[in-house]
Structure 1
Amino acid sequence: MAWLPACPALPDPARLRLRLLGGVQGVGLRPAIWRLSQRWPLAGWVRNDGDGACIELEGARADLHAWLAALPAALPPLAQVDHAELSVQPCQGETGFAVIDSQPGAGGGARLPPDLAPCPACLAELFDPSNRRWRHPFINCTDCGPRFSVSRRLPYDRAHTSLAGFALCADCAGEYRQPADRRFHAEPIACPHCGPRLSLCDLNGSPVAGDALSHTVALLRAGQIIAIKGVGGFHLVCDADQPQAVAMLRARKRRPAKPLAVMALNADSLADVADIAPLAARWLNDPSRPVVLSPARAGLDALWPGIAPGVSRVGAVLPMSPLHYLLFHEAAGRPSGVDWLTQPHPLRLVFTSANLSGAPLITDNAQALRDLAGLADFILLHDREIVARCDDSVLAVRGARQVWVRRARGRTPTPLAAAPGEPVLALGAQLKNTLTVASGSGWHTSQHLGDLDHPDSWDVLEDAVRHWLTLTGAQPTRIAHDRHPDALSSRLAAELALRFDAELAPVQHHHAHLAAVLAEHHWPAEQPVLGLALDGFGLGDDGGAWGGELLRVRGADCQRLGRLRPLALPGGDIAARQPWRMAASALAALGHREADIAARLAMHPGAAAVAAMLARGVNCPPTSSLGRAFDAVAALAGVCAEQSYESEAAQKLEAHAQGPWPAPDPALWRLADDASELDLRPLLARISALNDAHASAALWHANLAAALAHWAHAASQRQGVRHIALAGGVCLNLTLLDALCAQLTAAGLTPLLAIELPPNDGGVSLGQAWVARHLGR
């Protein structure tokens, strides 16, 4: 193993100290070390501390060498060692090997594992009527269960989790202290006698008498909406195969069209609604349990009205906790054993965050009873506190390509590797906010925290900052933030800079997008790279609305080489919610007269006023955003004129682009000689003359991919740079991304893509931290 250093020369007998840094807490490392040490007559101990795990071993030289040789294969599967330090210590003459109490440390080298779905061994016990944990919603062991969501700080000990208040019964205490047991030092260990309790309550908070799981399943079958306290927050759940229940949930949540995720027992239970590729199936069954977006089967809207209206992908997730498994177990009639887990199951459940759209995820029981009265009919809750709110991770899969849409439960708090550097805190973007702590040799990017437009967002972000700085032990010397002065994260950054006596580091939005990709690829800061930053909005260096940018990045330096030819934003920000306004803007850019624009869009109230604004240039700031160009095309094609959620128009346009495409026509775009501007007006003109949604969408995608590749290649020739980073929310369009990457590769360029983080604003904090670390170099 590369992480294991060479053993120094040893006396005989000898004593060794081995320090392990990385993901070594909460993964069963201490029990594994104890079991390994029983194979030889060795003395010593193992313990957790703020930096990882520390082991001291004493015995014969040959036995110590044998122990070191066997160590890599003996580590538990969840352990991830980033670095190890080995030294010789004076012999102490002790006997026996023990797991001893943890010791606080400076922090920074240790990290928590993420929350993981139940392992096969726990599932076997969960469904065994003779086992004392039969149907126990909080079963776990050293290989699975809650970690990040219940942990307050490191070292990872029960006293530092929300399980601290649950005193262990004699049986659990025996398992916890028995080195040969699977639950030896399993910190969240619980059973029906001493663990958290589940209860089904009405909206007044009164418990419903009887078995909570049985009543919950009966209510779901009756078309009711249940709020369920999960791993990292509450979710709203209803029967996905009951359109009336789905419609009611949408009405209450004020979510008229945004796609809803569906939970099923296994991938086979989704065969009629989703085309689940092998890669998607692997991720569905991964212990991290993300929501996986797969291509929808034909006829999805008819089979499942209201689940994912008008889009080409459907989101699915498998049970991520024992509680969720037990809903399916109850619906199946409480079968014994685990064979039923692999059989198709008729129950499919809508699974969406239990909050009004835009509000932070609810984690607290009292708040749930107070705020969910208008959303749910009943609430299934428990008394295990959620320390860190953690929404669901979301992954989009198309064939063999994958891209993270949201990184949260199951993926956080695993850091990305980084070269050592100064501690930096980066506060991310206004939308899809995350924060990143650059500490030691890791980029610690937080869970998805949501949009920062809600009144509670300041508290949510400040709480997350406090939690992450506690976990990492970092004291930031630099605080990075978006250059937009009105962003909440920018205002909090100014306050935190005073608190920590740290330097402020404003970073331009699109520079941060591309820098996030470079951080993932360990890109040398001194080596220039090209980048296409393609999204809806970011404040540009000139104060304008950017979003279709060709940039040259070299560490903290970023140069704008080119842009998409701007379109007007009639009415400003409202144009992002009403794509028909962008259609009017496109028509005006093509030279259509005011009266013609008003007549073509007469079905929209205000069309005449918008046409007049465009004709006079009043309240029509320019934007180079590719996201707004997508809106214009979607409206021109008759696909989406009004958006009820972000990127609705683009997603529906992508759905219409499935199927055959025409060959790209280079006459449909114009590129400035110096590559400083890409003009898509010829393409918009061709689309404006069509009257077919598929033809318009296919024409747009085929030629946009070719035009972007042509643009990048021209800049590459001028700059002598062959690598190009792709980032921004538009890169979630896998239909476009596949075509663009193929054409870039054919042109001799090497695309660099986001890997573990989303290419959208969820990755911006990582990019900010990367830029901040390279300032002044």
Structure 2
Amino acid sequence: MEEPIRTRARVTGVVQGVGFRPFVYALATRLGLTGFVGNDVDGVFVEAEGPEARVRTFVRALQEEAPPLAQVETVRSTTVPATGEPGFSIRQSGAGGRATTLVAADSATCEDCLAELDDPGDRRHGYPFINCTNCGPRFTIVTGIPYDRPKTTMAGFRMCARCEAEYTDPADRRFHAQPVCCARCGPHLSLVDAHGSPLAGDPLEGAAALLAAGAVLAVKGLGGYHLAAGAADAHACATLRARKHREDKAFAVMVADLRQARRLCEVDAEAQELLCSRRRPIVLLPRKADAPVAPSVAPGNRDLGLMLPYTPMHALLLRATRQPVVLTSGNTSDEPIAHRDEDAFPRLAPLADAFLTHDRAIHTRTDDSVVRPPVVQGGAPVLIRRSRGYVPEPVQVPWLWPRPVLACGAELKNTFCLATHRRAFVSHHIGDLENLETLRSFTDGIAHLQSLFEIDPEVVAHDLHPEYLSTKHAHTLTRMTRVGVQHHHAHIAACLADNSTDEPVIGVALDGTGYGTDGTIWGGEFLLADLAGFTRAGFFDPVPMPGGAAAIRHPWRMAAAHLDHAFEGRVPEGLDLRRRRGTDWDTVVTMARRGVNAPLTSSAGRLFDAVSAIAGVRDSVNYEGQAAVELEQLVDPDEDGAYTARVDGGEQLRVRTTDLVRAVAEDVLAGADAGRVAARFHRGLCGAVVAACDVIARRSGRSTVALSGGVFVNTVLYAGVVRGLRARGLRVLTHARVPCNDGGISLGQAAVAGARDRARQLTGPAG
């Protein structure tokens, strides 16, 4: 008879709260092995004993057959003496020690739970909080680790006997599913008016009736409150816009199923995969011309942001309404999403007619994630906002951070990042750090993730802009080593970390604003960069930014500055924009020429603003990037013409965007429509970026180009530049795991801080 062997294994990664222990138990039982499995602060520990071939099969299967929500990073095993211990058991979670295990992101309701939800014979039929080890809330309810029920917001719900039997049965799908519950012992929905008084009847039926009658509802979801209205109800959507003070920015729409999604948008196989994924992001898709949605849902936009229900409550609500529903973040513009009841009711009562809420607390607010299907053939989906469904899963990299790092991120679309060992934990979307409420959300989020993963940062990385609230926060952390990182270098470093490489590249960083090392506002940058440092190899023509921040809110100001620069002070009198602005035109031009409150900027974002205003698309904006978004939406796909821009040599290249501005103005004077102008401008800018990279590649000998910055959210520009660079034989790196916009900046800051720390270790303090 073959002598048994015993193996001791350690499994790391997202392996708690995802059904990993019952999977191990079932695997060992199937193979006839003895031993045990358990959780502790490091992940999952396993010992298995039996015939050698079966034990080897067991160890391989720990990674190859892991449950759907598990993300196994490593399986390390060693042989230990056999004990002859009978049976296989699941041990209680161990406590103590420094936490290194991971917490899963929230996951959409699985097919098994949906089947039970629909089964009249199942005891959880129609229960809006059904979940199991393969789905449900995770990050939004966890308060600490190891991930067990007492350390979640389900701690106050005592399991009934039937739920406890499932929870303690290793063969059950709900074994140690921490949020497990049913209608007898779990959370419940309630429907109340704006004053908090209960409304009679079934909450879901009442909510559906209110939506059908044109009401605006506040709906408590997984990571916070949403505001909901019937997507086809023009009056309700207009009311929601007015109350939320959100004049133009598109609303997201939740649809019940793929059939409804296809009624509104073009849904191909890649889009379907994103819509149906366990992450359930908002997916930006081409809108059908006859889509039955109110005009105010996404004004001036060819796309709609669609998502499928990701909780059983959403699934039941969408079935009850029988129509798509606008589901937008529960806040007024510029505020963080409301997630605590005591905060949500006073904040949202002026906006909502009623509240569909529940009594399970949300510990961490998380906005919905936003993604676009791949833009180029063979490319990855494009993340625009990384939050619910993705966070707190780390970005794994092949290098080590010598000391733990806190990276504070940017001012707009803020995220922070905690990095240690080979993991970077990029936070959920915080928002724009422009008020006290959002700053508090930022600092609370840092404290929670530090506590959750027991990371005690020794280095703090920040943007160079002295007035960013994130920078000011970094300067309060006096016990940490501070590392300032230039904004566009952080963009390129984020792209490198996203691609798990530290190779030297040509970095193209195109965005709205970033504090430059020369004191000007950068934003159209060509860098020779690696993780540790960069040199500026080229940039767009700098022009004055008359009024500073006022030029961002009023793109016509940038148009005046660009036109005055391009035409050397002799702007054609016949331009409609000049006539529209009247006497304000001369005031702004004078400001630009004298440099009074008019810092120089090379910004690609401000160039888009200028062209939008010249083409008559948008003189003033109601949200960041609106002028550029609307210009992109007008691009005529049948137009194959392109403007051209010179790329001047010298130690630092200059892309002569003045050529593009002159061509735009001349076409507008000749009567060209905005769609044609937009198409020619986009194609011309793509050509100029590719030409500049080609020159820098020949000069430097580098053949890899990294693209980053918020302007690359523009799909026309992104696709055109990628194709053009590849046609020149250059390798192109783009983002896949974090956004290219400022939501990825914190990862780049952390990567730069780590690289400089590694270099310091090699050279010593005096090096």
Q: Please point out which of 376, 401, 418 is paired with 1:421.
A: 401
Q: 2:202 maps to which residue? A: 211
| 1:462 counterpart letter in structure 2 | T
1:717 aligned onto 2:698? yes
Deviation at 1:467, TM superposition (A): 1.4
**Please, which moves more after superposition, 178-187 or 396-405?**
396-405
The change in CA–CA distance for 1:516 and 1:746 in structure 2 (over 3 A counts) is same
CA deviations on 1:667-710 (whole Å, 9 max, x unpaired) are x4342344521111122111112232012101100100001100
| Residue among 143, 152, 156 paired with 1:161 | 152
- Structure 2 residue identity aligned to 1:263: M
* Number of the residue aligned with 1:128: 119
1:439, 1:472 within 8 Å by CA — same for their partners in 2? no
Which of 255, 268, 284 matches 2:259?
268
The question of 1:643 aligning with 2:621 is answered yes
Report matched runs for 1:759-770 at 5 Å: 759-770=740-751
User: Given the alignment of the two structures, is residue 172 of structure 1 paired with residue 150 of structure 2, yes or no?
Assistant: no
SS of the residue corresponding to residue 562 of structure 1 reads strand
Q: Distance in 2 between matches of 1:248 and 1:599?
A: 34
2:301 to 308, 311, 317: 311
Aligned to 1:338: none
Matches within 5 A, 1:598-613: 600-604=577-581, 606-613=584-591
| Partner SS for 2:295 | coil
Which residue is 1:336 aligned to? none
Establish whether residue 510 from structure 1 lines up as the match of residue 488 from structure 2.
yes
Match of 1:532, SS state, is strand
Q: Secondary structure at the match of 1:724?
A: strand
Q: What is the distance in 2 between the residues matched to 1:619 and 1:493?
A: 27
Give SS of 1:150's match. Answer: coil
SS of 1:441's partner is strand
Structure 2 counterparts to residues 136-535 of structure 1, below 5 A: 136-298=127-289, 304-331=294-321, 346-397=322-373, 400=377, 401=379, 402-418=381-397, 419-422=399-402, 423-496=404-477, 498=478, 501-524=479-502, 527-535=503-511
Q: 1:676 aligns with which of 653, 658, 668?
A: 653
Amino acid at match of 2:438: S
Aligned to 2:664: 687
Conserved in 2, the CA contact under 8 Å of 1:584 and 1:597?
no
Residue 701 of structure 1 corresponds to 682
Rounded to whole Å, the distance in 2 between the matches of 1:587 and 1:67 is 69
Q: Measure, in 2, the Cα distance between the counterparts of 1:188 and 1:234.
A: 20
Q: CA deviation at 1:94?
A: 3.3
Pair 1:17-2:8 in alignment: yes
Counterparts of 1:540-551 in structure 2 under 5 Å?
A: 540-551=516-527
Partner residue, 2:35? 44
> Which of 22, 47, 55 is matched with 1:31 structurally?
22
Secondary structure of the residue aligned to 1:149 is coil
- Given that 1:109 and 1:440 are in contact with CA atoms closer than 8 Å, whether structure 2 keeps it comes out as no
Using the TM superposition, give the Cα deviation of residue 90 of structure 1 relative to its aligned residue in structure 2, in angstroms: 4.2
Deviations 1:457-515 (A, max 9, x none): 2221111111111222222221111111221111222223x3xx321111110000000
Alpha carbons of structure 1 residues 608 and 65: separation in structure 2 relative to 1, 3 Å: closer
Residue pair 1:548, 1:564 contacting (<8 A) in 2 also:
yes
Query: Structure 1 residues 164, 676: CA separation in 2 closer, same or farther (over 3 Å shift)?
Result: same
Whole-Å Cα distance in 2 between the matches of residues 229 and 51 of structure 1?
33
Tell me what 2:100 maps to.
109
1:295·1:398 contact (CA, 8 Å) conserved in 2?
A: no
Q: Is the 8 A contact 2:233 2:293 kept in 1?
A: no
Match of 1:334 in 2: none
Shift of 1:32: 0.7
Call closer, same or farther: CA 1:597–1:775 in 2, change over 3 Å.
Answer: farther
Give TM-score scaled by structure 1 length: 0.93
Contact 2:577 2:616 in 1 (8 A): no
- Which residue of 592, 605, 623 corresponds with 1:614? 592
Tell me the alpha carbon deviations over residues 250-295 of structure 1, each in whole angstroms, 9 at most, x when there is no partner: 0000001001111101232133432223211110111100000012
Secondary structure in 1 matching 2:581: coil
Higher alpha-carbon deviation: 248-257 or 70-79: 70-79
How far apart, CA to CA, are the structure 2 residues paired with 1:424 and 1:598?
A: 52
SS, match of residue 373 in structure 2: strand
Instruction: State whether residues 16 and 88 of structure 1, in contact with CA within 8 Å, keep that contact through their aligned partners in structure 2.
Output: yes
Bigger mean CA offset, 453-462 vs 394-403: 394-403
Q: Give the C-alpha shift of residue 612 in structure 1.
A: 3.0
Instruction: Give CA-to-partner distance per residue, 1:726-776, whole Å, 9 cap, x none.
Output: 100001001111111111111111111011110000000000000000115
Counterpart amino acid of 1:190?
Answer: C
Partners of 2:658 and 2:438 in 1: how far apart?
40
Mapped contact 2:144–2:451 kept (Cα < 8 A): yes
Greater alpha carbon shift after TM alignment, 608-617 vs 221-230: 608-617
- Over residues 25-76 of structure 1, what are the superposed CA-to-partner deviations in whole Å (9 max), with x where a residue is unaligned? 1111000111112235533221111111001223454553453355445421
Residue 595 of structure 1 contacts residue 611 of structure 1 at CA under 8 Å; is this kept in 2?
no
Residues 375 and 583 of structure 1: CA distance in aligned 2, closer, same or farther (over 3 Å): same
- Give the CA deviation at 1:325: 0.1
User: Match for residue 657 of structure 1?
Assistant: 635
Matched AA of 1:413: P
* Contact 1:594–1:615 (Cα < 8 Å) also in 2: no
Structure 2 residue aligned with 1:6: none
Match in the other structure for 1:342: none
- Asked if residue 560 in structure 1 is aligned to residue 536 in structure 2, the reply is yes
- 1:184 Cα deviation (Å)? 0.9
Aligned residues of 2:274 and 2:373 also touching (Cα < 8 A): no
Measured against aligned partners, the alpha-carbon deviations of 1:320-360 in whole angstroms (never above 9, x if no partner) come to 110100012323xxxxxxxxxxxxxx501001001011101
Shift of 1:661: 2.8
1:456 partner SS: helix
Displacement after TM superposition at 1:307 (Å): 1.1
CA contact (8 A) 2:411 2:470 kept: yes
739-748 vs 420-429, greater mean Cα deviation: 420-429
Rate the CA distance shift 1:505–1:396 in 2: closer, same or farther, 3 A.
same
Q: Provide the aligned length of Structure 1 versus Structure 2.
A: 746
Q: Secondary structure of 1:563's match? A: strand
Matches of 2:347 and 2:183 in 1, distance apart?
29
Q: State the Cα RMSD in Å.
A: 1.9
Distance in 2 (CA, whole Å) between partners of 1:65 and 1:468 is 36
Structure 1: how far apart are the matches of 2:384 and 2:52?
52
- Give the match's secondary structure for 2:391: coil
Deviation readout 1:74-110 (Å, 9 max, x if unpaired): 4212222111221233444533221111112544531
CA contact (8 A) 1:579 1:635 kept: yes
